[in-house]
Amino acid sequence: MRDREGQTSYAAPRVDWKISDFDILGRLGAGSTSTVVHARRRASGMECALKVVDKHLVQRNRLLEYVVRERRVLDRMDDQGVARLLFTFQDAAHLYFGLELCPQGDLFDQVQARGTLDLEAARAYAAEVVLILEYLRGAGVIHRDVKPENLLLTDAGHVKLIDFGCVKDLRDGGEGEPAAGGGRSPNRLQREKRRVSFVGTADYLAPEVLENTRVSFATDLWCLGCTVYQMLAGRPPFRAGSEYLTYQNITNRALTYPEGFPEVARDLVEGLLAADQGARLGADDIAEVKAHPFFEGIQWCSLREAKAPEYRPRPRADPEEEGLDWDLKSMVEAVPVTYEYVPSVQ
Annotated binding residues: 51
Q: Is 220 a catalytic residue?
A: no
Spatial contact of 107 and 227, defined as CB atoms under 8 Å apart:
yes
Spatial contact of 108 and 22, defined as CB atoms under 8 Å apart:
no
Q: Kindly report the three-state secondary structure assignment for every residue of 118-182.
A: CHHHHHHHHHHHHHHHHHHHHHCEECCCCCHHHEEECCCCCEEECCCCCCEEHHHHCCCCECCCC
**Regarding beta strands 22-30 and 94-99, do their DSSP bridges make them parallel or antiparallel, or are they unpaired?**
unpaired
DSSP secondary structure string for all residues of 62-76: T-HHHHHHHHHHHHH
Helices marked H in the chain — which ranges? 55-60, 64-76, 107-114, 119-139, 170-173, 186-199, 207-210, 217-233, 243-252, 263-272, 287-290, 328-333
Classify residue 142 by burial, with Cβ atoms within 10 Å: 0-12, 13-18, 19+: buried
Cα–Cα distance, 84 to 162 (Å, whole number): 9
For residue 43, the surrounding DSSP H or E stretch is none
Annotated binding site for ATP: 51
**Regarding beta strands 22-30 and 168-169, do their DSSP bridges make them parallel or antiparallel, or are they unpaired?**
unpaired
Cα–Cα distance, 315 to 320 (Å, whole number): 14
Secondary structure class of 268 (helix, strand, coil): helix
Phi-psi group of 282: left, alpha or beta (phi > 0 → left; psi -120 to 50 → alpha; rest → beta):
left
The active-site residue out of 145, 163, 203, 220 is: 145
Secondary structure class of 286 (helix, strand, coil): coil
For residue 178, the cross-strand partners are 214
Cα–Cα distance, 21 to 237 (Å, whole number): 44
Distance of CA 157 to the CA centre of its chain: 17
The catalytic residues are 145
